[in-house]
Amino acid sequence: MSRNNREPGYRLERREPRGCNSRGSIGAARFSPLNPHSAIRNPKKQQGLAIVLALLVVALATTAASYMVWQQQLLIRQSENLTALAQGQAVARAALDWGRLILAEDGGQGNKVDHLGEDWARSLEPTPVEGGQFVGKISDAQGRYNLNSLTDRDTDGVVFRRLLTVLELPSDLANAVRDWIDADDQVSFPGGAEDLDYLGGNDPYRAANRLLIDINALYRIKGFTPEIVKRLRPFVTALPRGTPVNVNTATAEVLTALFEDLGLDAAKDLVEKREKDAFDDLNAFKERTKTLKLLNPNMIDVKSDFFLLNAAVQFSRTELSYLALVQRQPAGRPKLLWQRQQ
């Protein structure tokens, strides 16, 4: 076609042979993993790719093996922990049975007095067993103020209000506890609370109108905060019926609450003397405190029926602690009222 016959905009271009650069020389072929012919032309790059793939496979295999070993170690550890837990529970139950046996022997001797100089009051030192150790302790539950006595022996709450005052807590809390456990729906003033007070809250509920089973029930009673319960816990208990305070085992704070005019320092001095010479009967106690005004004669005694058993066990990495309440019987082992793991 002549130059004059070409269509407008049409231009002839020179096509260079394949594999040539702009200068007409043969260039190196580009490698493409999708082009098998290019890999054949570059064996060194093919070897590098194989090495990378091999390293990747080794890394994945190593990761999988490490994970399986870790899983196996975890299963072994769990099995060891379960075995230690079972052993610890068995030893803890045995320790609680030991406590019941000690109390049975003490009661079988015809003792009419319980004091801190007796065998049951001695803590069991750490005792080694195969794979671990355990310790045990028996404490007198009647050495504390029994909150359920508010419906029985301390019906006017005078002793409990005195205890609250000694502990620097609001004395009106005594009425709140009494309303919680009594059977009627009449509010005690001041500080009492019945159903209407609890039903009006964000989480409505009714007053229990029955005896306390556990001290933790105080959290649901009007006026009791976690700080108050923590302060009160070492000095109170909740037993199945109203009980007097054992003056041979009571703390100085509880002894102070029994009298109108006994100071805390004088009560501590009384406790110190009591350790050397326990009260053989109520007359001996009254004689030693004859100059003081006893608030409620029905709230004192020198013997106890209810005891707390505590067993702490350690096996390998497992630590357990059990608490049980028992009631001493006229004959035989004390009756187990409840037990729980702490």
pLDDT of 41 reads 57
User: Is the predicted pLDDT of residue 8 greater than 70, yes or no?
Assistant: no
pLDDT band at residue 32 using 50, 70 and 90 as cut-offs: low
SS (H, E, C) the chain: CCHHHCCCCCCCCCCCCCCECCCCCECCCCCCCCCHHHHHHCHHHHHHHHHHHHHHHHHHHHHHHHHHHHHHHHHHHHHHHHHHHHHHHHHHHHHHHHHHHHHHHHHHCCCCCCCCCCHHHCCEEEEEECCEEEEEEEEEHHHCEEHHHHHCCCCCCHHHHHHHHHCCCCCCHHHHHHHHHCCCCCCCCCCCCCHHHHHCCCCCCCCCCCCCCCHHHHHHCCCCCHHHHHHHHHHEECCCCCCCEECCCCCHHHHHHCECCCCHHHHHHHHHHHHHCCCCCHHHHHHHCCCCCECCHHHEECCCCEEEEEEEEEECCEEEEEEEEEECCCCCCCEEEEEEEC
pLDDT of 28 reads 46
pLDDT of 38 reads 52
pLDDT in tens, 119-152: 999 888 888 888 788 899 999 999 999 999 999 8
User: Is the predicted pLDDT of residue 16 greater than 80, yes or no?
Assistant: no
pLDDT in tens, 150-196: 998 998 999 999 999 999 999 999 999 999 999 999 999 999 999 99
